[in-house]
Amino acid sequence: MQLMKVPSIKVPKLRRTKAAEAPGVSAVARLDRRTKNLTKRLRPGEIAVIDHVDIDRVSAEALVGCGVSAVLNVASSISGRYPNLGPQLLVEAGIPLLDQVDPAVWDKVAEGDTLRIDGGMVYAGDSVVAKGTPLDAESVDAAMAEAKAGLSVQLEAFAANTMEYLKRERELLIDGIGVPDIKTRLEGRHVLVVVRGYHYREDIAALRPYIREYRPVMIAVDGGGDALLEAGYTPHIIVGDFDSVSDKALNCGAELVVHAYRDGRAPGLQRLVDLGHEAIVFPATGTSEDVAMLLADHAGASLIVAVGTHATLVEFLDKGRSGMASTFLTRLRLGSKLVDAKGVSRLYRSRISPWALLLLVLAALLTIYVAIGSSPTGQIYQNFLATRWDAFTYWLTGLFP
């Protein structure tokens, strides 16, 4: 009996399907109550957990620059005191912003934990660890409108702070009493004061022709030292409390001026002592950028160009502290000597363009050639050079028989 071959039947293997990915944004969390400190260690794609009332523009730009995937703010991102610009920048960048998150997140979440944000809920694994209010473009616009309505209260407070600062620092502002002497010579020179603030990268790039021609003395305010190094320049002076500047900038050879409290306390001085640097102490009530400008003015600078500083009332308020009143009075003190970088870049043009210089060189060479060819002396030189050239070529051909 002949057996029939039964065709083999291939049974498809069963594959396990991957579980559907959970909705929302999942990433590693980094926590710090100070946004300025957190941005130093944030990596792209991570979730920033902060405690920042009225997120200002500089902080928001730093978070966007770090490439965060979401921001959890334990505080109110827009308290209504004034129309702060930070939340709008985050929302426009497409970064989910969860507002007024449960403060228990500080106890339930550790650095490096993986979180998932879905709507107003924050998950660690399958457990809810916190809740918050998600902000979108519409809610931010509504909150900004309400904040603008109450702006008059902030203007009154700003005026009061300005008068209080004037009473405390009138000798410094009017007579320059208390400004220390520095080693770097500024008399009659242009000075570039660089703050790592609004659009500082764009401003430095636009000022390259001006810097190349005038070679101003560069005064960096804290992190402005790193901004200059990043752009390929070396600061001559660094001013500040040195809480946001790298060791690389402090070791670049710049003269260091520590901004101290009015009573002489200088928290940033100890860091310089640990690095083995000497420093000048400048006690003043205002901000570090004001100290830098007053220092340049007292040393005799003929022009002060400001990069990344605060120039408008909204920017003063957006800084989020009453000390910004000093910035207003400092600008009154400097007067026309102070120019914003944007104004310089718009008005300044190089005195001689590269094309004009090239044409000038070609015209000079052509003039010399015509002068030599048309004069008797020039013809003698031409005959001499021709004879020498013929002798050289004859010698050269003799090397290859």
Cα distance between residue 173 and residue 378, in whole Å: 67
For residue 237, the cross-strand partners are: 219, 255
CA dihedral 285, 75, 103, 94 (to 10 degrees): -130
Q: Which two tokens stand for residue 389?
A: 């050239």
**What is the reported pLDDT for 26?**
92
Each of the 401 residues of the chain gets a pLDDT tens digit; together they read: 344 444 444 444 434 334 346 788 999 999 999 898 899 899 999 999 999 998 988 889 889 999 999 999 999 999 887 788 899 999 999 999 999 999 999 999 999 999 999 989 999 988 999 999 999 999 999 998 888 776 667 667 767 777 777 676 766 666 666 788 899 999 999 999 999 877 788 889 889 989 988 999 999 999 999 999 999 999 999 999 998 899 999 999 999 999 988 888 888 898 999 999 999 999 887 788 888 998 999 999 999 999 987 666 666 666 555 555 677 777 778 888 888 887 776 665 555 566 777 787 888 877 777 776 677 776 777 777 778 777 777 777 776 76
**In this structure, what token pair is assigned to residue 73?**
């703010």
Residues 6+ apart with CB under 8 A from 194: 200, 204, 218, 219, 220, 221, 224, 227, 228, 235, 307, 308
Domains and CATH numbers, the chain: 25-147 (3.20.19.10), 153-347 (no CATH)
pLDDT of residue 106: 93
pLDDT score for 238: 96
Cβ distance 46 to 27 under 8 Å?
yes
CA atoms of 358 and 275, how far apart (whole Å): 48
Record the pTM: 0.62
